[in-house]
Chains A and B, each alone.
Chain A
């Protein structure tokens, strides 16, 4: 590919698109077009890099274009009039909205996986560390309720630092609210599959994510209860680099499987077919091969 064409894809503000991607885990440098074609997976250490909501929906759904968003107009408020060194909370939200193009840290809606209609929620780590406040909790609870009413399987992709500090106990209570909603779905016999992506931490791991019927981890994803900053702050113990990865929690019996990105849509589709056969409305119309390019 001629260099001229590569530079044509410019970022906002006229800065040339970065031609190289650095693996967050091992530091390996990857030629960006190849890295993207390889689904943002490090060819050296197999770490599955964080994806945006758009990239995730593209990868997971049969047709991301037909995704119907739910509760997209549920937005955060600022109940505590919160301010921190990096800015007032509403300003931080506005900044996150601008940089991610999303209105909250989770996008919920309905789409199709391998031909099955599913309720899908995807967390956006780029939005204030994917943290769950009142609006995110509300969107997630509504998604569980929608899946319950329509009796369609639910797939949740988690990537979050946990509860959003800026909303205090309002944020904390989202753990109870979303977990209770997930528990009701379980009672209704509708399958719920969680895909824990990097990182899945604290108030999200310890709430709706952990109660899924089937939990899939992405290779190399950090999955844990305590954030490393919290541990350093309270116990003065520095976390080890390979503690608490998806593979680590798999070995300890906490998740069901670690599935590479290229196989996820097929695996999730298969699980839905096996757990909710009556819901299998139609066979997959789109082939099993994962897309080679993300949105």
Chain B
């Protein structure tokens, strides 16, 4: 239970109590009161959720009850067959993937998988993939291209595993290779950030033709704690880092870094898994159908152009700034 959810939850339990006591034969004033309380709950939920701070969004994206990849797969994918292992080292439980069909369309779906509770989270490494997780993903991406299936990736990780064992097995190499494979994969790729889009560990599976993002998901250059450690040298400044990093779906949509915000049910994805899955399914289907019409080689060209255009730089016209080959900045650029 998050702080800003507490009031809403109290109201919700009062409604539940009253509902339990009443039935269809109850006095009309009781039923009327219930109706009013429902309306109040809706209004207050909408109000609270329209004023969420970036840090509250981070908390929602990490909510212990938030639906994770397997919750979505269970609701969206028919006849899902999970495929395990990277065929090199092991089977990383922090990444799940397999084949199945989405509304009659054959797909390969791969996502980060967080756990619920301590035991599951240890097993899933809190959704922080090991190198073998990315190598499993790469194997499935290539399998998709081989059989002409589109790829769906679901991003939900605090970041890639930063432990010694991850370094030993080449975490950087696994992430870079995954991006390089996706960049050239001759099949449609739709990416959806469903929870935490944590840094390179998320982006490793985030190179695609359409980038969707659930309303209260976050996507960040580093987790707020890591950014705080880098910027303020103390992870206690995570809340301030969250404000500064521009990690919400609205900011990223406005910056043209994602293509679409997928709405969540009132109160957030964790309040209604089915409705969230339905909302995401609709967006995925629409994206896949658009992409299916484009020849694979053209997809790759357009994908390159898409990421190639993601930047934040300025360029002075050549007659304004003389580039003398020394790389020295002309005086007038110092005040940039």
Kindly list chain B residues whose C-beta atoms are within 8 Å of the C-beta of A73: 315-316, 318, 320-321, 323
Are B226 and A234 in touch, CB under 8 angstroms? yes
Total A-B pairs, Cβ < 8 A? 253
Of B10-18, B25-33, B242-250, B260-268, which stretch is located at the interface? B242-250
Are A177 and B310 in touch, CB under 8 angstroms? yes
Is A199 positioned at the interface, with any CB of B under 8 Å from its CB? Answer: no
Are A168 and B247 in touch, CB under 8 angstroms? yes
Q: Name A174's contact: one of B220, B232, B233, B311 (CB within 8 Å).
A: B311
Of A13-21, A78-86, A256-264, which stretch is located at the interface? A78-86
Is B1 positioned at the interface, with any CB of A under 8 Å from its CB? Answer: no
Is A38 positioned at the interface, with any CB of B under 8 Å from its CB? Answer: no
* Alpha-carbon distance between A202 and B222 when the two chains are bound, in angstroms: 10
Is B56 positioned at the interface, with any CB of A under 8 Å from its CB? Answer: no
Q: Which residue of A lies closest to B258 (CB)?
A: A169
Q: Which residue of B lies closest to A71 (CB)?
A: B315
What is the size category of the interface that chain A forms with chain B?
A: 35 or more
Kindly list chain A residues whose C-beta atoms are within 8 Å of the C-beta of B117: none
Given contacts A211-B177, A233-B225, A234-B162, whether A176 and B207 have CB atoms under 8 Å apart is yes
* Alpha-carbon distance between A237 and B163 when the two chains are bound, in angstroms: 9
Kindly list chain B residues whose C-beta atoms are within 8 Å of the C-beta of A177: 307-308, 310-311
B333 to chain A, nearest CB (A): 7
Kindly list chain A residues whose C-beta atoms are within 8 Å of the C-beta of B313: 74-77, 133-135, 138
Are B221 and A165 in touch, CB under 8 angstroms? yes
Of A26-34, A92-100, A273-281, A286-294, which stretch is located at the interface? A92-100
Are A231 and B200 in touch, CB under 8 angstroms? no
Residues of B210-224 whose CB lies within 8 A of A: 219-223
Are A80 and B200 in touch, CB under 8 angstroms? no
* Alpha-carbon distance between A75 and B307 when the two chains are bound, in angstroms: 18
Residue in A69, A177, A209 with the greatest tally of chain B CB atoms within 10 Å: A177
* Alpha-carbon distance between A25 and B307 when the two chains are bound, in angstroms: 38
Q: Name B257's contact: one of A109, A170, A205, A254 (CB within 8 Å).
A: A170
Residue in B179, B220, B232, B318 with the greatest tally of chain A CB atoms within 10 Å: B179
Q: Name B334's contact: one of A71, A97, A230 (CB within 8 Å).
A: A97
Is A284 positioned at the interface, with any CB of B under 8 Å from its CB? Answer: no
Is B172 positioned at the interface, with any CB of A under 8 Å from its CB? Answer: yes
Per-residue interface assignment for chain B, residues 295 to 329, with 1 indicating a CB less than 8 Å from any chain A CB and 0 otherwise: 00000000110011011111110101101111111
Q: Name B314's contact: one of A69, A75, A171 (CB within 8 Å).
A: A75
Q: Name B167's contact: one of A78, A103, A229, A244 (CB within 8 Å).
A: A244
Q: Name B327's contact: one of A107, A163, A171, A186 (CB within 8 Å).
A: A107
Are A211 and B180 in touch, CB under 8 angstroms? yes
Kindly list chain B residues whose C-beta atoms are within 8 Å of the C-beta of A244: 167
A121 to chain B, nearest CB (A): 12
Is B44 positioned at the interface, with any CB of A under 8 Å from its CB? Answer: no
Q: Which residue of A lies closest to B197 (CB)?
A: A169
Are B335 and A94 in touch, CB under 8 angstroms? yes
Q: Name A103's contact: one of B177, B184, B329 (CB within 8 Å).
A: B329
Is B73 positioned at the interface, with any CB of A under 8 Å from its CB? Answer: no
Are B255 and A169 in touch, CB under 8 angstroms? yes
Are A230 and B162 in touch, CB under 8 angstroms? yes
Residue in A75, A186, A233 with the greatest tally of chain B CB atoms within 10 Å: A233
List 12 additional A-B contacts (Cβ < 8 Å) besides A76-B313, A170-B255, A230-B162. Answer: A69-B324, A75-B333, A169-B220, A175-B200, A177-B308, A203-B221, A207-B176, A210-B177, A211-B180, A229-B230, A244-B167, A254-B170
CB-defined A-B contacts under 8 Å, sample of 25: A69-B325, A69-B327, A90-B336, A93-B336, A97-B334, A97-B336, A103-B327, A109-B325, A138-B311, A168-B221, A168-B245, A171-B221, A174-B311, A175-B203, A203-B221, A208-B176, A210-B172, A210-B177, A224-B172, A232-B229, A233-B235, A234-B225, A234-B226, A249-B170, A253-B170
